[in-house]
Structure 1
Amino acid sequence: MASVSAADAGQTFEIISSLRYDPSLPQVILRNADSYPNPRDSPYYLLAYHRDRLIAAARHFGWEHALKWLQQDLTSFERFLDGSIPDRSKPWRLRVVVDSNGKGSVDVNPTAAFDPLNLLTPSLHASRPPNLWRVYVDSQPILPSGFTTHKTTARDDYTAARLRAGITSPAETAEILVVNPRGEIMEGSITTPYFRRRGPILGPSGQDSTEPAWITPPLSSGGNAGTSRRYALSQRFCVEGIIPQTDLVDGEECWLSNGVRGFMLGVVVLSRQPGEQN
């Protein structure tokens, strides 16, 4: 039976978005990415997409005060984030939190430095990340709702899925894919996944293609409208397509992405029982 989020039962929650501050980002964009979304000179990764994501969540939940605050101009939103950065020479992980009254706050934590090219889609750079993430599949389905489409602090289902996979620390290079009651991959607990598949697939041109392509689950499967997902689609790195859980192959490689770590290469692990140590 699919679980029901505590938020559906009336739990108090806020809307959130996590993003990366990286002082090296503007130069990387200048040298490598002509089509990166504006503002191109910002050290905040996919800044406009994060604000758009928060706006979409506020609109979905009918939070008029939050919507009014979030619809400030992007320069003002960036200045709001600037006030939280302790040292502008280092990378940071930011967690933007907005409540129903339109009050915003930012939690800031250190984050590991890495090759900033990993913030660009894999089609824009040739480097291969040195470490593969382990990618597991959850044993219990999650019921899609506004709390899976939009990112909020009501994340009990995702926390439970990670614990079932034996992932106990955010520092682990491991991910769990969550599944809807139809047996379709929705997303990862903290990432968007991409799988290599052969057609017939509706390609970026709108025409059916039988060529191999990177596929990410459509929002109709119930997953999150993530910022790096939007970026990957805009770059035509991937197309949308339903990914049945039964189609996954033990040992196949996949890409993962999020708004803090960019793009990471993973390997699907089906041969291990949840909670079993490697």
Structure 2
Amino acid sequence: MSGDDFRIISSLRYDPALPAIVGAADFYPDPLRTPYYLLPYHQERLRSAATCFGWDKAITFLKQDLHQFAQFLDSFIPDNTKPWRLRIVMDSTGACDVEVNPTASMDPLSLLTPSQSTSQSNTWRVYIDPERIAPSALTTHKTTTRDFYTAARLRSGITSLLEQAEVLLVNPSGEIMEGSITTPYFRRRDTTRGDNKDWVTPPLSSGGNAGTTRQYALAQGFCTEQVITAADLVDGEECWLSNGVRGFIRGRIVLRGSEDPHT
């Protein structure tokens, strides 16, 4: 696998409202209280990917302390009073670029935890990809090699990142890996606690991405890991999704044939 073929990436949210809401939150994993959502996890994610691919120069760049890393990102922010979507892109030589685009304002509390008050009108349709994807380092780590994600979205009729819709990737064993742009969470009964139901997310052994909001959700006890098969999912069941730009999003499973993907 040549480093000339792809770059490692991590997408995150810059939000000037974030420091105020996490100021009293001891559990939030950013001691600097920066406007960058889960910044330590993004740095760690990039460093883990660089280590996996043996990119020594990238690893050296990513070993800088968190304050230096935040200052580096600050140089790309056009207006620090507005929210932005950042896409950190790094190649095997350690060269790092940051693509910055406007992003919609949102309730910053949605970045910290799933909220039962989330509007039903913002519920995303969640489809299941009918094809199977083989797990690899390119599914575990986020890179610019994303053709298989794009293809899965198109198979479910999702043609724009602006659509409130997601598709779940499935490995050859029929296990849910992840979403094309999100980590999914499902409510399942804990066999050790009777009828209680808890939120679970697929384990990395199923082949999905080691996402930042996934790491945060696990660390905060919002969910545990459990293998979920495509056959387990029920049409209309509620789920949660998350990513580093939008935080936590309510979702609803839509099985093939139960709804036109374009509606």
TM-score tier by shorter-chain length is over 0.9
Q: Percent identity?
A: 62
The residue aligned with 2:118 is 128
Q: Counterparts in 2 of 1:86-235, with a 5 A limit? A: 86-122=78-114, 125-130=115-120, 131-200=122-191, 208-210=192-194, 211-235=196-220
Offset at 1:41? 1.6
Unpaired runs of 5+ residues, structure 1, are 1-7, 201-207
- Aligned residue for 2:255? 270
CA contact (8 A) 2:6 2:143 kept: yes
Rate the CA distance shift 1:99–1:275 in 2: closer, same or farther, 3 A: farther
Displacement after TM superposition at 1:197 (Å): 0.4
Q: Check if 1:46 corresponds to 2:30.
A: no
TM-score by length of 1: 0.90
CA contact (8 A) 1:163 1:275 kept: no
Query: 1:209 is paired with a residue of what secondary structure?
Result: coil
User: Take 1:175 and 1:23, find their aligned partners in 2: how far apart are those partners?
Assistant: 27
1:3 corresponds to: none
**RMSD (CA atoms):** 1.7
- For the pair 1:62 / 2:57, whether they are aligned, the reply is no
User: TM-score, normalized by length of structure 2?
Assistant: 0.95
Report the secondary structure of 2:23's partner residue: helix
Tell me, in whole angstroms, the C-alpha distance in 2 between the residues paired with 1:242 and 1:127: 28
After superposition, the C-alpha distances for 1:115-155 in whole angstroms (9 at most, x for unaligned) are 11000122xx5532441000000010100000000000001
Distance in 1, Cα, partners of 2:210 & 2:193: 25
**Match for 2:181: what amino acid?**
I
Q: In 1, are the aligned partners of 2:76 and 2:100 still within 8 Å (CA)? A: yes
What is the CA–CA distance in structure 2 between the aligned matches of 1:239 and 1:138, rounded to whole Å?
Answer: 24
Q: Which residue number corresponds to residue 23 of structure 2? A: 30
Query: 1:13 deviation in Å?
Result: 0.3
Q: Is the 8 A contact 1:217 1:241 kept in 2?
A: yes
Conservation of the 8 A alpha-carbon contact between 1:121 and 1:235: no
- Decide whether the 8 Å contact of 2:4 with 2:92 is kept in 1: no
Q: Deviations over 1:13-41 (max 9, x none)?
A: 0000000000000111125x330102352
| Cα distance between partner residues in 2 of 1:251 and 1:126 | 17
Q: Distance in 1 between matches of 2:161 and 2:221?
A: 29
Indicate the residue corresponding to 1:239 in structure 2. Answer: 224
* 274 and 51 in structure 1: CA distance in 2 versus 1, 3 angstrom threshold: farther
2: CA distance between counterparts of 1:274 and 1:154?
30
> Any idea what SS the aligned residue of 1:264 has?
strand
Unmatched tracts of structure 2, length 5 or more:
none
Give the residue type in structure 2 aligned to 1:121: T
Aligned-partner Cα distance in 1 for 2:4–2:150: 16
Number of corresponding residues: 261
